[in-house]
Structure 1
């Protein structure tokens, strides 16, 4: 009997060795304190060198110290920040592939047909922060207010060139709303990243840029003029700049974002990742990095973040339907 038990034990050990520790259930690895055992890849859907990319790289570095394994950032830009979804769909739910989830991911399925669902195909880990959106023009531009944009578009239909970070992104949706209410048109120029867009605007290649916090260095250096921001109140960094809300447009947009994993990520693995990234999120070095782009910590845990994602997904559907952006959008 003892011989049979010994043979069974040896066979079990051999099967574990052949498959390595990766063959063990992910939940067991987490429970035994052995997750992670190798490098974690964090996908960022924006080009390298932009504001979000830089803050995410610091966050990944700080989280690495807590996890005891490297967190490597990979960029997959384009399609308005939605290209992380196919990556997550194809990834194993083992915690080694995670991604930043920007607001356009919650909007895109209502605008065009996609093969993924942002709620069904993700596991929320935590919400991190939101962004400050704004409208900028070259420093030498004659356009000095949001009303000036409307006046130009009214006098020269379709001639106003306006850049955003992609079709269906928050800047694009907001500008479509503003111009559509007034039956005005503009020429939309989408860019893959903030840095590329800001260079184009500051060089006068396009007349107006609408994007997130990456415009900060250009505004602070005097290369660009900030006409308005999209937050609920004026920013501490540019207190002289009005918000769209106070200008009477009734729009507040901050596009909060966070980290998610693939569908089916075990709760134990979520907890390990959550704890490490929450610690990194609140690290003074990361808080200071966010402040460079007028961002603050806007933390939500897995359950609350999941609830917020579902609410935002439903709200985006209503917005898309109201603006008539479904299946390709309107003329903006």
Structure 2
């Protein structure tokens, strides 16, 4: 599976592409009524900075609550490091900003594992009222250059954090674990595969499974992994699980072995949602799950062939 559509909703708001609306002469919605997407089209004549400057001049920035950064390049991928300082330089003009999506980029524009990122630590200081952050992409070359990086930070307001990756670097996983996010309720990590930079280890997941440093966490996603069975076995005994309302072990190579470990571990009947979509479960195991968890919303969509010896994660390249 690849990501083939731009997001249409973010932070509970419909997404408006500023460049498209501007080019077509459309009447713009009220600043607070939409999530504003700023990005470049293929072979766009303007630079990102020009489109960003036009946005700053046109929209009532003090009312904007959600921003979405699309492609900051018009042809070959370029590092986020070239434009992120430009965005953050205007941070004080967005006092109402509560949500930021970095990298709403689809496969047609750039495969997820070729999106060239940068250090995102300054985002947290620039937007102290931020409640939701999504980051898509990691590193175009897997050599440390133009790669996603993060230093441990403290942020008092962040409630939801998601990293979308075909391979999430272990250094980023460990930094997230070392951050101080007292308000964080929802954490999703698309762990990915080693071939695309996902050099995390099972030990790196320990802090999330304990939940010790995440006092407000109620939804945990450890997803998109080839080792989804091993993760499920760890989750089955994880101290954080009793206080979760949502658990996502989706997008990976989950088989009956991992699902059985879940059922044989601690109770999951308190969950509101269990997301297992894109899996390799037999029909018999799917029935076992439904029977064992009758009050839980279970997503068992995107069933792959359990007899397939080549098992893939949902998002890699």
Do these two structures clear the TM 0.5 threshold for a shared fold by scoring above it? no
- TM-score computed with the length of structure 1 as normaliser: 0.24
| Structure number with larger C-alpha Rg | 1
Q: Which has the higher helix share?
A: 1
Comparing both chains, which one has the higher relative contact order based on Cα–Cα distances under 8 Å and sequence gaps of 6 or more?
Answer: 1
